[in-house]
């Protein structure tokens, strides 16, 4: 048998990502015959999807011809312009498949490349034949044998110079960001691990990995419930008059909705909502909470002589058993930062589907998630520009660590420079869990010339047509504040300018109570032409 060359690290990593159901351990990597089998296993894919339309092809060569003829797009021209290796080509392909840009998008990129993030190593399409082609051609890319349709010595020299320039710029950038390399590698490792788990869960023989994921989710749940076991966080919420009085006024001012009804309080905390419902004349309240604060809630209920009206149950909503089959009303204060942080709405939906009667009600019954653009140079200087000059030294590479995480703060209303964009409306009586991962368009009309320093997101909560409260910058402050997504660079805008883009909100795969937010903003008016994309985390 001929000697088989051992796979490179690149081949191993990419092969694992693209092969659903395969698991690689140290021993299997040492088996040359297994590696040959792997290389032969990936030939079952028969069709490859176009990058810009719904056309499918039986070979990559036909796809490449289609891209050139019908979309005027040459993958190699773009890759060579930026001096991409196989990693760069993979990120570029996944970026296009994920964001669906126009074919000429790359011509308008002047500063940072929007697909530099290691997140774009994760395939958008499983068994993507185009990615396999790129991997198979890795040695050709490195040797410079791909022509990319440019003929003649002059064009070849031009391409070579452009490639060298791009490589020089890339080396300069990497030198400046040396301090963040370890962090990026760690994030990439987490991404690969998450991807592997997701792939393995798609197979029928992944039960052990499913158990591991269950333990991981239990761990994140334990941390979540422990954070609500102390008094301080409940004191903060109870002292939030906007929040607490909104619930109190709705319940006590609408006794007909609660009189003689069976009420379920999801995540009862100190039991304040349960006691409001008891005061409104309900028949009985069943209050559920997994955190240890429920032990104090029992004392509070007894102290107010409501133990015959309120039954407190310790446990997760998904695990407990109620002594009754159905309830008439569900009340809960489930909203988190950016509305969906901590994923408590999932438990409310579970309770609704399991226990609510057909004509039952959930309160609050709807919420809207909204966004505005702000111009707050002072905040931007303190959070972002600060790193450009720290006691006379540049620490700009640390900006990325700050930009990764969304801020929570109260925004001054006078800093708002756009109208309001409603990103999402949730009907709590009907919304499904899978709808809580979403992507929606952004449309902001600028009403004051200046610069955008951040996108601010907040939510409004509705109990009825007349009862509601807002967490926005123009309303009285609440303990939620607003969620602030700082932009790396200030964007100059003119009055009347229309800003478009996309807002994507997804549960984090490592901790389902955290959120990953992806924001794309773009505009083209006079000299103000820009397009930016940033990924943020709420954790």
Q: What is the mean pLDDT of residues 47-76?
A: 90
For 303-344, the pLDDT digits (tens) are 999 999 999 999 999 999 999 999 999 999 999 999 999 999
Per residue in 167-185, pLDDT (tens digit) is 666 555 555 555 556 566 6
Specify whether domain 232-333 bears CATH 3.60.20.30: no
CA–CA distance, 36 with 21 (Å, rounded to integer): 17
Cβ neighbours of residue 369 closer than 8 Å, sequence gap 6 or more: 338, 339, 340, 422, 423, 424, 425, 426, 457, 458, 459
The model's pLDDT over 68-122, given as tens digits with 9 standing for 90+, comes to: 988 899 988 888 887 788 888 898 899 898 888 888 888 877 667 888 888 888 8
Q: Cα–Cα–Cα angle for 535, 420, 250, nearest 5°?
A: 105
User: Are 537 and 521 within 8 A, CB to CB?
Assistant: no
Q: Which pLDDT value is given to residue 119?
A: 83
Write the CA distances from 117 to 1, 134, 188, 439, 535, integer angstroms.
42, 18, 9, 19, 9
Instruction: Give, in degrees to the nearest 5, the angle at Cα 335 between 293 and 538.
Output: 100
**Cβ neighbours of residue 449 closer than 8 Å, sequence gap 6 or more:** 493, 494, 495
Q: Which of 82-86, 277-281, 308-312, 415-419 has the lowest mean pLDDT?
A: 82-86
Separation of alpha carbons 379 and 389, rounded Å: 16
How far apart CA 289 and CA 294 sit, in angstroms, is 6
CA dist 135 to 80, 254, 345, Å?
A: 16, 64, 42
User: Tens of pLDDT along 456-513?
Assistant: 999 999 999 889 999 999 999 999 999 999 999 899 999 999 999 999 999 999 899 9
Domain boundaries, the chain: 9-201, 232-333, 366-538
Q: Report the share of the chain in percent with pLDDT over 70.
A: 75
Cβ neighbours of 227 (radius 10 Å): 11
Q: Which pLDDT band, with edges at 50, 70 and 90, does 14 fall under?
A: low
Q: Tokens for 122? A: 């994760």
Q: Which residue, among 332, 319, 240, 213, has the nearest Cα to 277 in the 3D structure?
A: 332
Q: Distance (Å, rounded) from C-alpha 529 to C-alpha 491?
A: 9
| CA-to-CA separations, 523 to 199, 443, 452, 532, in angstroms, rounded | 37, 10, 12, 10
The lowest-confidence range among 202-206, 328-332, 442-446 is 202-206
Hey, which of 42-46, 150-154, 209-213, 276-280 has the most confident mean pLDDT? 276-280
Distance separating alpha carbons of residues 16 and 5, to the nearest angstrom: 18
CA-wise closest residue to 79 among 55, 53, 51: 51
N residues, the chain: 539
Here the tokens at position 32 are 């040359």
Cβ(94)–Cβ(18) under 8 Å? no
Closest listed residue to residue 416, CA positions, set 471, 492, 473, 377: 473
418 close to 411: Cβ distance less than 8 angstroms: no
In 3D space, the residue among 423, 268, 408, 443 whose CA is nearest the CA of residue 347 turns out to be 268
Provide φ and ψ at 237, rounded to 5°: -70, -40
pTM for the complete prediction? 0.61
Contact 424, 368 (CB under 8 A): yes
CA-CA distances (angstroms) from residue 56 to 41, 50, 60?
21, 6, 10
* DSSP conformational letter for 412: P
Confidence of residue 191 (pLDDT cuts 50, 70, 90): low
User: What confidence tier does 448 reach under pLDDT thresholds 50, 70, 90?
Assistant: very high
The CA-based diameter of the chain, rounded to the nearest angstrom, is 92
Closest C-alpha among 256, 321, 253, 246 to residue 282: 256
pLDDT of residue 264: 99
pLDDT reported for residue 16: 41
pLDDT band per the 50, 70, 90 thresholds, residue 399 = confident
Residue 317: exposed, middle, or buried by beta-carbon count in 10 A (0-12, 13-18, 19+)?
Answer: buried
DSSP calls for 401-429 = HHHHBPEEEPPPGGGB-B--EEEEEEETT
366-538 maps to which CATH number? 2.70.160.11
Active site residues: 333, 342
**Secondary structure class of 43 (helix, strand, coil):** coil
> Pairing state of beta strands 421-427 and 366-374?
antiparallel
Least confident of 156-165, 261-270, 419-428: 156-165
Mean pLDDT score across all residues of the chain: 83
- CA nearest 478: which of 144, 181, 242, 176? 242
DSSP H stretches of helix in 50-113: 60-71, 75-81, 86-99
């Amino acid at each position: 048998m001929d000697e088989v060359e051992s796979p490179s690290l690149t081949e191993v990593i990419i092969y694992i990502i693209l092969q659903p159901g395969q698991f690689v351990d140290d021993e299997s990597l040492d088996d040359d015959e297994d590696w040959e089998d792997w290389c032969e296993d990936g030939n079952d894919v028969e069709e490859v999807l176009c990058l810009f339309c719904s056309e499918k092809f039986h070979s990559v060569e036909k796809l490449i011809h289609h891209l050139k003829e019908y979309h005027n797009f040459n993958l190699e021209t773009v890759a060579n312009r930026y001096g991409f290796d196989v990693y760069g080509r993979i990120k570029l392909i996944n970026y296009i498949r994920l964001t669906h840009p126009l074919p000429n998008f790359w011509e308008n990129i002047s500063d940072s490349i929007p697909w530099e993030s290691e997140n774009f190593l994760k395939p958008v399409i499983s068994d993507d034949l185009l990615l396999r082609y790129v991997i198979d051609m890795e040695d050709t890319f490195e040797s410079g044998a791909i022509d990319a349709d440019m003929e003649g010595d002059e064009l070849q020299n031009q391409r070579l110079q452009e490639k060298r320039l791009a490589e020089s710029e890339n080396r300069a950038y990497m030198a400046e960001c040396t301090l963040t390399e370890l962090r990026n590698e760690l994030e990439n490792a987490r991404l690969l691990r998450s991807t592997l788990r997701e792939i393995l869960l798609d197979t029928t023989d992944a039960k052990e990995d499913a158990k591991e994921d269950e333990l991981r989710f239990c761990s994140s749940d334990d941390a979540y419930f422990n954070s609500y076991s102390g008094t301080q966080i409940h004191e903060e919420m109870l002292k939030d008059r906007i929040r607490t009085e909104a619930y109190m006024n709705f319940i006590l001012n609408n006794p007909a909705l609660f009189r003689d009804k069976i009420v379920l309080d999801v995540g009862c905390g100190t039991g304040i909502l349960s006691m409001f419902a008891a005061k409104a004349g309900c028949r009985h309240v069943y209050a559920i909470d997994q955190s240890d604060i429920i032990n104090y809630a029992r004392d509070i209920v007894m102290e107010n002589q409501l133990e015959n009206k309120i039954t407190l149950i310790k446990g997760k909503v998904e695990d407990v058993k109620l002594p009754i089959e159905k309830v008439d009303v569900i009340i809960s204060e489930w909203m988190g930062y950016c509305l969906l942080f901590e994923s408590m709405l999932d438990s409310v939906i579970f309770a609704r589907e399991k226990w609510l009667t057909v004509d039952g009600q959930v309160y609050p019954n709807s919420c809207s998630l909204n966004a505005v653009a702000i111009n707050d140079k002072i905040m931007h200087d303190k959070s972002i520009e600060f790193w450009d000059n720290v006691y006379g030294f540049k620490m700009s590479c640390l900006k990325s660590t700050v930009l990764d995480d969304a801020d929570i703060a109260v925004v001054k209303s006078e800093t708002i420079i756009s109208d309001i964009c409603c990103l999402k409306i949730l009907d709590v009586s009907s919304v499904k869990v899978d709808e809580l991962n979403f992507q929606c368009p952004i449309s902001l009309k600028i009403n004051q010339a200046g610069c955008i320093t951040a996108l601010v997101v907040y939510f409004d909560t509705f109990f009825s047509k007349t009862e509601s409260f807002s967490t926005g910058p123009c309303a009285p402050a609440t303990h939620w504040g607003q969620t602030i997504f700082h932009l790396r660079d200030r964007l100059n805008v003119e009055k009347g300018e229309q800003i478009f883009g996309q807002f994507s909100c997804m549960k984090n795969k490592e901790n389902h109570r955290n959120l990953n937010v992806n924001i794309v903003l773009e505009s083209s008016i006079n000299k103000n032409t820009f397009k930016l994309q940033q990924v943020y985390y709420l954790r």
